Structure 1
Amino acid sequence: MRERLDRLVNAITSGLALLGAVGVMAMLVHITLYVILRNFASAPIPATVEIVSYYYMVAIAFLPLAWAERRGDMISVEIFSHFLVGRIGRINAVFVSVVTFAAYLVLTYTTWTVAMRQFTAGSYVISLSVAVPVWPSYFILPLAFALAALVALYRGVMPPLPGAAK
Structure 2
Amino acid sequence: MALIETLKSRSGNWAGVNRMIQKLMSGINFFCLSIGMLAMLLLPLHVTVDVIFREVLGTPILGTIEIASYYYMIAIFALPLAFVQEKDEHLVADVLESIMSKKFVGLTVSVGYLCTVIFVYLLFQQTALGAWTATGNGEHVELVFTNLYTWPSRWIIAIGFGAMFLQALLQIVRDVLQVVNRPKATSGA
Q: State TM-score, norm by structure 1.
A: 0.88
Residue in 1 aligned with 2:89?
Answer: 73
Give the letter for the 2:117 counterpart: F
Aligned residue identity for 2:33 = A
1:22 aligns to 2:9 (yes or no): no
Given candidates 115, 136, 145, the residue that maps to 2:152 is 136
Query: Which of 84, 88, 98 is equivalent to 2:101?
Result: 84
Distance 2:110 2:132 in 1: 32
For residues 136 and 72 of structure 2, what CA distance do their matches in structure 1 show?
A: 22
SS in structure 1 opposite 2:141?
Answer: strand
Query: Within 1, Cα distance between the matches of 2:27 and 2:83?
Result: 10
Q: Deviations over 1:42-62 (max 9, x none)?
A: 121101110100000000111
Aligned partners of 2:85 and 2:168 also within 8 Å: yes
Asked if residue 46 in structure 1 is aligned to residue 62 in structure 2, the reply is: yes
How does 1:144-163 map onto structure 2 within 5 Å? 144-159=160-175
- Deviation >4 Å, runs of 4+: none
Q: Which moved more, 1:72-81 or 1:31-40?
A: 72-81
Tell me, in whole angstroms, the C-alpha distance in 1 between the residues paired with 2:139 and 2:151.
Answer: 5
Q: 2:131 aligns with which of 111, 115, 140?
A: 115
59, 63, 67: which one aligns with 2:79? 63
Consecutive unaligned residues of structure 2, counting only runs of 5 or more, are 1-15, 179-189
Residue 29 (structure 2) pairs with residue 13 (structure 1): yes
* Deviation at residue 117 of structure 1 after TM alignment: 1.7
Contact kept, 8 Å, 2:139 with 2:151, in 1: the verdict is: yes
* Whole-angstrom distance in 1 between the partners of 2:147 and 2:46: 18
Distance 1:139 1:23 in 2: 15
Q: CA deviation at 1:11?
A: 1.5
Match status 1:34 vs 2:57: no
CA RMSD, aligned part only?
Answer: 1.7
Aligned equivalents of 1:17, 1:146: Cα separation in 2: 14
Counterpart code for 1:85 = K
Kindly provide the amino acid, as one letter, of the partner of residue 46 in structure 1.
L
For 1:90 and 1:149, locate their aligned partners in 2 and report how far apart those are by CA, in whole Å.
Answer: 20
Give the equivalent residue in structure 2 for 1:106.
122
3-state DSSP class of the match of 2:89?
A: coil
Larger Rg: 2
Distance 1:9 1:115 in 2: 23
The one-letter code matched in structure 2 to 1:43 is T
- Work out the CA distance in 1 between the residues paired with 2:157 and 2:121: 12
